Amino acid sequence: MERVARWRTWTTELSPYVLDSFLALVSAGIAVWAVYNDDTRWPTWVYLLAVATAVPLPWRRRAPLTVLALYSAAEITLSVLAHSANAQVPLAGVLGLYTVAERCSDRARWSVLAVTVVGNVVGTHSPNGALFSVLTSGGSFVFGALVRTQRQLVRVEAERAREAGVRAASEAGRAVAEERARIAREMHDILAHAVSLMVIQAEAGPLVVRGDPDRAIRTFDTIADAGRDAMVQLRRVLGVLKDPEAGRELAPQPRLTELADVAERVRQAGLDVEFELADGLGALPADVEAAAFRIVQEALTNTVKHSGADRAAIRVRRSGEVLEVVVSDNGRGVPLTADRTVAGWSGGRGLVGIRERAAACGGRAEAGPGPEGRGFLVSVRLPLGPAGVVERVGG
């Protein structure tokens, strides 16, 4: 196989020279035939001069101007000393001019064409001969220019195809990264919320199991409900990952009405939650509704884990073509940095997830201290229609 590959490589590299050498032999044969069939008996040096017009042809691709100059020197000498022995169609001249038009710079090409036309008019002995020479030279030049243009178009198309391939690969990589980030957010929101409630309830269980058995039973029921809910949602996410034919539409799409169940489970964990879902929300885009649900879920999880609050409030309402979501609590809040931004806004996975979910819907998320610096407040605005403009996420 290696020998075959080397043979193919060698023949590919050699083929232009083989072809041009063959053309040189044909051109030399035509030139010699023209000398032989002339009425005058020419000496040997005329035959050699005719052959000399074709000798440079094998190198026409590498040095087209040099090859054409060598041909022209031999051809002019032959035309001056033995004009009638010239071939009617000098193949070497046609190939040389074609190669210059196809491979050289614009300045060199047009200069050569001008000199060739002048030489054809001055160097022929009749108007008909001059016209025939000009047409032959012009045709060779035009054909070479057309081939040059075609090859440039092919290179442009190849470059466009390469760039399209690079863009497609980049877009595919970006899509994979976005999907991984989306799945990571789903997994984080599901597990963080459920596990936080389960840990808090489990910690409270031993304290009430003897003094208030009924409350202890409710506590363990809450733990079981949170675990079952998390398992159901995880199965839905993992089902999308396992099925290569599954589309994004199979991913979990919670509804805002389910927030009442979330609020109830948080209440059972000891946090008094006030939930207000405004009437007249109408039909909401599935991605916006799911994003709002997860944002509220994550905000409540942060409240349970970090705030030390005993009350929280959820407000969801529609304002024109914007869905407004506000989650607040009366906890200890968070410190501010020197530039009056929330410390940790860019670091915590939960708040980052809230910001990413809002941005993915073309909306805006803000987080910071509540009224008069007490508690913590998360405010999100999500556009509902295609007219929604992506806003820079603040914090």
Binned at pLDDT 50, 70 and 90, residue 146 comes out as: very high
**Would you place residue 85 in the very low, low, confident or very high pLDDT band (cuts 50, 70, 90)?**
confident
Q: Which of 143-152, 179-188, 268-277 has the lowest mean pLDDT?
A: 179-188
Q: Residue 335 and residue 349: Cα distance in Å, rounded?
A: 18
Cα separation of 334 and 276, whole Å? 25
Tell me the residue length of the chain: 395
Domain final residue pick, 123, 157, 173: 123
Would you say residue 346 has pLDDT above 60? no
Q: Is residue 14 assigned to a domain?
A: yes
In a domain, 12, yes or no: yes
Residue 387: is its pLDDT beyond 70?
Answer: no
Please report whether residue 54 resides in a domain: yes
Minimum mean pLDDT among 11-20, 103-112, 147-156: which range? 11-20
**What's the whole-number mean pLDDT along residues 205-218?**
66
Report the pLDDT value the prediction gives residue 386, as an integer from 0 to 100: 57
Residue 227 domain flag:
no
The string of pLDDT tens digits covering residues 24-39 is 899 889 888 988 888 8
For residue 41, the model assigns a pLDDT of 87
Cα separation, 332 vs 370, whole angstroms: 10
Please give the residue range of the domain that contains residue 109: 2-123
Measured CA to CA, the distance from residue 57 to residue 22 in angstroms comes to 9
Residue 127's pLDDT band (cuts 50, 70, 90): confident
* 216 is a domain residue: no
Residue 33 domain-assigned (yes or no): yes
Structure token pair of residue 281: 């929300």
Cβ proximity of 130 and 116 under 8 Å: no
- Angstrom distances, CA of residue 2 to CA of 9, 10, 12, 55, 140: 10, 12, 15, 35, 41
Contact 56, 71 (CB under 8 A): yes
Chosen domain end from 89, 123, 157: 123
Q: Is residue 250 part of a domain?
A: no
Residue 253 DSSP label? -
> Strands across the sheet with 322-329, in order?
272-277, 311-319, 322-329, 376-383, 364-369
Q: How far apart are CA 378 and CA 395, in angstroms?
A: 10
Q: What per-residue confidence (pLDDT) applies to 204?
A: 62
* Residue 381: predicted pLDDT: 92
pLDDT at residue 135 in the model: 86
For residue range 253-289, what is the model confidence (pLDDT) as tens digits?
778 888 888 888 788 777 888 888 888 787 888 888 8
The pLDDT-based confidence of 112 (bands split at 50, 70, 90) is confident
Position with higher pLDDT, 212 vs 52: 52
- When pLDDT is cut at 50, 70 and 90, the band that residue 297 belongs to is confident
How many domains is the chain built from? 2
Out of 98, 123, 148, pick the residue that ends a domain: 123
Q: Does position 186 have pLDDT exceeding 80, yes or no?
A: no
The percent of residues above 90 in pLDDT, for the chain, comes to 9
Cα–Cα distance list, 389 to 104, 378, 392 (Å): 53, 20, 10
Largest distance between two CA atoms of the chain: 134
114-119 long-range contacts (CB < 8 A, ≥24 apart) are 116/141, 119/72, 119/76
Instruction: Give the confidence band of 380 by pLDDT, cuts at 50, 70, 90.
Output: very high
Residue in the structure block whose two tokens are 């599935």: 286
Q: How many CB atoms lie within 10 A of CB 176?
A: 10
Question: Residue 331 is part of a domain; what is its CATH number?
Answer: 3.30.565.10
pLDDT, mean over the chain? 78
pLDDT, mean of residues 359-382: 85
Average pLDDT (98-124) is 85
Residue 196 lies in a domain: no
| Angstrom distance (rounded) from CA 91 to CA 99 | 12
Average pLDDT of the segment spanning 144-161 = 90
What H or E segment, with its residue span, contains residue 338?
none
